[in-house]
């Protein structure tokens, strides 16, 4: 019995390692999941690189030494709500238009009731 215990224990340890090598977190069967995750990450990386390039281009346009006047005007208008006196703002997306553009004309006073 003692002679069989040591080889059986060794065999159990080897089977355990083989099991983890096949079906463990880093086993052979998880390689397909790694490939799928890698493909997802590659798509995400491409999206982030495109966003980074877009932001870098926008930052170059806002360089104080030679800022793009059209972009600067667009930012001032959208961020601070600046409007020229001769412009009319029509809100299409439900946001409130800037106060300078939507100030209503003075309403006539109601006549007193007798």
How many structural domains is the chain composed of? Answer: 1
Q: Is 100 within the bounds of a domain?
A: no
Q: What is the mean pLDDT of residues 56-85?
A: 83
pLDDT tens digits, residue range 11-51? 999 999 888 888 887 777 777 888 889 999 999 999 999 99
Q: Are 34 and 24 in contact (CB under 8 A)?
A: no
Q: Is 31 within the bounds of a domain?
A: yes
Can you tell me the distance from the alpha carbon of 58 to that of 80, in angstroms, rounded to the nearest whole number?
19
Concatenated DSSP letters of the chain: -HHHHHHHHHHHHHHHHHHHHHHSTTSGGGHHHHHHHHHHHHHHHHHHHHHHHHHHHHHHHT-TTS--HHHHHHHHHHHH----TT-----SSSPPPPHHHHPPPPPPPPPPP-
> In whole numbers, what is the pLDDT of the chain averaged over residues?
79
Q: Is 58 within the bounds of a domain?
A: yes
Collapsing DSSP to helix, strand or coil, 15 comes out as: helix
Q: Is 46 within the bounds of a domain?
A: yes
Q: Phi, psi at residue 89, to the nearest 5°?
A: -105, 130
pLDDT at 83 (0 to 100): 82
* pLDDT tier for residue 98 given thresholds of 50, 70 and 90: low
Q: Is 103 within the bounds of a domain?
A: no
Q: Is 104 within the bounds of a domain?
A: no
Can you give the residue range of the structural domain that contains 56? 9-93
pLDDT at 18 (0 to 100): 86
* pLDDT tier for residue 99 given thresholds of 50, 70 and 90: low
């Amino acid at each position: 019995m003692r002679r069989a215990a040591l080889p059986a224990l060794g065999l159990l340890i080897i089977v355990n390692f083989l099991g983890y090598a096949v079906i463990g977190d880093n086993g052979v069967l998880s390689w397909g999941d790694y490939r799928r995750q890698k493909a997802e990450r590659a798509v995400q990386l491409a999206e982030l690189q495109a966003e980074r390039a877009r932001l870098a281009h926008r930052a170059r346009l806002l360089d104080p030494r030679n800022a793009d006047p059209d972009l600067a005007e667009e930012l001032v208008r959208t961020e601070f709500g600046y409007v020229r006196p001769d412009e009319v703002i029509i809100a299409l997306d439900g946001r409130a238009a800037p106060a300078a553009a939507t100030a209503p004309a003075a309403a006539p006073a109601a006549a007193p009731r007798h």
